[in-house]
Amino acid sequence: MNVAIFDYGTGNLHSLRKAIEETGARVSFVQDARSAASADALVLPGVGAFGSAAARLTRSGAELRDAIRNGLPTLGICLGMQLLFDRSDEGSGNGLGVIPGRVRKMKADRLPQMGWNEVETTADPLFDALPSLTVYYANSYVARPARQEYVIAWSEHAGERFPAAVRSGSAIGVQFHPEKSGGSGLQLIANFLAGAR
């Protein structure tokens, strides 16, 4: 299986690449929609800020959005999840608009949310073989979908409940970092890739 990681040019993607390769998949880094669409699955990584990443995606925006809407299995991680939405309170620029909604700043006094947190999952194949899930977060913003039906998992930070994972067709977003979440994170990546086959 060939997995494309979209490189916004914003940071080190080594741990993500290594986690995907541990599932037996081949990984390539891409910066345009045509290369992304030719892969078996696409990962939008979680490194960087919304504004700069959105600016990089603008060059491929409509073509990339169409590929995802037409069934390209896609996993958005942290920032990558947020880019699946329309807009963000963090910076300017538009997201891909694959999932209707907006990214909002969390309400906690102390941000970012850094560290381990529990996830309340639903009966989605993304969570197969994961009866309980504790994952690593590093975020100050969370996606707020226009409709709750997109949400497939929840977490809570400082009394604020927020979507931990969303799905629209073959597009999945997780607010946490599975590549930094140990064995459970690797299982989640494997589940995503199994669904992409």
51 or 91, higher pLDDT = 51
User: Above 80 in pLDDT, residue 61?
Assistant: no
Tell me, what DSSP letter sits at residue 177? Answer: B
Class of domain 2-196: alpha beta
pTM: predicted TM-score of the whole model, two decimal places: 0.96
Instruction: Work out the average pLDDT over 17-43.
Output: 96
Choosing from 21, 90, 120, 177, which is the catalytic residue? 177
Choosing from 63, 149, 157, 179, which is the catalytic residue? 179
User: Above 90 in pLDDT, residue 93?
Assistant: no
Choosing from 78, 156, 157, 160, which is the catalytic residue? 78
**Helices and strands (H, E) in the chain, number of each type:** 6, 12
pLDDT digits (tens, 9 = 90+) for 110-150: 999 999 999 999 999 999 999 899 999 999 999 999 999 99
The residues, ordered by sequence, that sit 6+ positions from 159 with a Cβ below 8 Å of its Cβ are 108
| Active-site residue flag, 78 | yes
Per domain, the residue ranges of the chain are: 2-196
| Active-site residue flag, 179 | yes
| Active-site residue flag, 63 | no
CA distance 50 to 88: 7
Instruction: Work out the average pLDDT over 52-61.
Output: 83
